[in-house]
A and B are shown apart, each in its own frame.
Chain A
Amino acid sequence: MVPVTVVFTQESVPLDDQEKLPFTVVHEREIPLKYKLKIKCRFQKAYRRALDHEEEALSLGSIQEAETMFAEPSEQAEGSLTVYVISEHSSLLPQDMMSYIGPKRMAVVRGIMHREAFNIIGHRVIQVAQAMSLTEDVLAAALADHLPEDKWSSDKRRPLKSSLGYEITFSLLNPDPKSHDVHWDIEGAVRRYVQPFLNALRAVGNFSVDSQILYYAVLGVNPRFDPASSSYYLAAHSLPHVINPVESRLGSSAASLYPVLNFLLYVPELAHSPLYIQDKDGAPVATNAFHSPRWGGIMVYNVDPKAYNGSELPVRVKVDMVRVMEVFLAQLRLLFGIAQPQLPPKCLFSGSKSEGIMSWELDRLLWARSVENLATATTTLTSLAQLLGKISNIVIKDDVASEVYRAVAAVQRAAEELASGHLASAFVASQEAVTSSERAFFDPSLLHLLYFPDDQKFAIYIPLFLPMAVPILLSLFKIFLETRKSWKKPEKID
């Protein structure tokens, strides 16, 4: 459930409609996924009149000033939205724009003087709210692992699997240290650009960042020479082969509990400079970078040809970290699945916050993650139950049983919290559900007596019981024969 607060200013709707405030309207929508699976999404709109300080703020000249006057975002719970309805002719928004979406869970919509004002405005509010919260593709991407593939969904870029934390590694690849002496201020760049972004994503998990410089690391593909632009290029179809040879030298999964995201910065060799990446149409990509879902990204940094003039090798190269970090942060957003939302028509979209992620984008991420966690937890528990049904030899110890109970309780609690709109606690409960269910399923004690084949049991008991059973069976047989004879005898005497 998404709690939306709709605030009306004085001239936004006709007076008699204003008398009806405050009240609540609930709007339900079912999002169909595949195979009869549906998710019900409920928007609970609480209409109210604007308070004085809000009226004051909304009558200011520009939207940016209005935003700064508003309440602190920490007062707004995660997952909720506030929509302000202003008058039709207000100059807060540019004339042709009907609505505006801000970075801090706030939006502005134009009101209308009409009899059916509330319905029309309600409609617009729903459009804006859907843009800022759950939509079908967000949920489909989150559940991509659990639903069977469709032919159109294989194109969808899969976001990272939900996990308790991530490790991000920045690597500088220098295949030609004789020609290039590359320096990069990675510590400063991480502190200035990446750390604020990760701090904003703190609710999603633990992040750790490290960096390394690798020498003599070549890409797996030989670039081709393009005589037209006298430069080298990597064609789009050869990009999948680039990563493999480098991967073994990255040392990525050596000592980390969490999945690793690699971001590589490649400075091409003197013999292959400058190097461009071409997309499917043959045009060079503007940022000279590409990313691979669930793995990371690679950017090619070409050395400025003016640096070679006159100086002897190796040439000192100082990497422009701003350009590089722009690309890496954008790739990080795409890897997490924070994509551009579908905006309703005539909507003004503000720029992002300085951290690179808006609060309602974080909310979308948390919703998607919660749903994914719940799906994972239920799948794990179901498989465990099926396994027990098939193999009767498994012994479930008490602590495994308590983990299962805890997982089930957490799943139920997460579903309740999601239905009542408390996003933060729902996310925490879903993480706990996943942890408990995985701990129960992968417990090593389940395998203890698993492989105890039946023929070994026979081999132990047969030497004892078979010799004892033979005389018993023989005598039973004899008894049976004798009783049959004694039945027949009275007939004969007769």
Chain B
Amino acid sequence: MLPGSAPAAGGTGMFVPAATAGTVLCCMCGVSMQPNPANMCARCLRARVDITEGVPRHAAVVYCPDCSTYLQPPRSWLRATPESPELMQILLRRINRPLARLRVSLSGAEFVFSEPHSKRLRLKLRLRREVLHGIVLEQTHPVEFVVHDRLCDSCSRAQANPDQWVAVVQLRQHVPHRRTFLYLEQLLLKHGQASLAIRVAAAPGGLDFFFGSRSHAARLVDFLATVAPIQTSTAKQLVSHDTKSSVYNYKYTISVEICPICREDLIALGPQASRDMGGLGPLVLCVKVTNAIALLDPLTLRVHHLEEKKYRVYNFKAALTSKQLVEYIVLDIEQESPEISIDGSRYQLAYAQVARVSDFGKNDTIFTVRTHLGHLLNPGDHALGYDLYGANLNDDDMDKAMTRYSLPEVVLVKKSYEKRPRTRRWKLKRLPVEEDAANKAKGEEEKRLDEYEAFLRDLELDPEMRFKMNLYKNEDYRSEMASTVGDDIPTVPIEELIEDLTLGDDEGDEGEEAA
């Protein structure tokens, strides 16, 4: 081997002689060029070989004008705005298969402007292909897509029958009042969970929510499971059935039942239940309802949280509900133990001497009771409580408890305040509920208003409950000069109110927190 000829694959330190590539003449046009596997200059190669041969120049894409989505066969519809990366992806997927078949690879693509209403989309592709002994050529190639309009499945179904629902959530609670539903309504408004419902209807004992798809209904049910103790069961009904493709269309009914125990209910626990909860006194007060029930023993100030599943084991009902609250006047109060705080609520054990307002002045019936409201009550205050002395109950557990233990005659529940001014500084939004015209009874209207008023009053008392919902500033509120009525009446501080969104020509305020 002569020195300097064809240098060996040099390791480090070996002398590798310089090898400058010579020039050859292009075999077609004779221009001097660097040797390449085809030994033709780039222009002759491009003239000879067209790499875009066989690549489609026209293609079609389907568009739904209602929901501005594009069809990705066979069935999915994807939303894309004009000249967006999503649209580019959809278009490139349409021509991907022929490109792959021709062994042409895509090295770039960009949109070419076309009028929006021309129903044409233009792309300029850069294609790369290997030709003739391994040379890779790159060339641009325009592709035009024709846009065909077609309503997608959901839009056509919606257009054919706009009220068609696929799933319904039937929310029920078997109690005579509607406080729970008022509270749930505000929660749903705050979290926007009812926005997907096609419509909401009132039914005896609860509400019905109608949805266009089962997943939306399931979303509402999942939300309800986190805020209330519920029990669900699902049923489905066959609507139509395509034998050829084995597609079955159903209507789903989800029945959601809320536990009948509400706040401020008095419950007498059976011996079994009382034992299981660690000897909780037979009389308990329900103080908070989230996805578990909080039961407070007013005599020992112990709170027990009972989950829905555990509740179903016992299935006790309330012995006395808030409709049966009686007003008492506090004659004397003696604090027994220091104020404690459980779950954010404050309680204090105290002895109180109370008399029923109906008895007050007429006779001397006075009750001495232990109460958990020691921190709130002062002599001369009015309080609401359950009158066990004079009550006529139809409850087995209560009878059993009466024989076993000596029950208190009065259980005070909350402090009551003077009648307050009608107008409030704040207001609430309501869900658009269709009223059930068929089942309306006489006097129902008034009952509802009373319940609503009681609900608003409860809101004023309880800041924790207010935290969970949105309160809006009331534009019509005129501050009353004579605000000497009960300085200790709790009112909602202005920092918690939200400016309501007004879409007027003169104002145009955005909704924002006013703090």
A associates with B: no
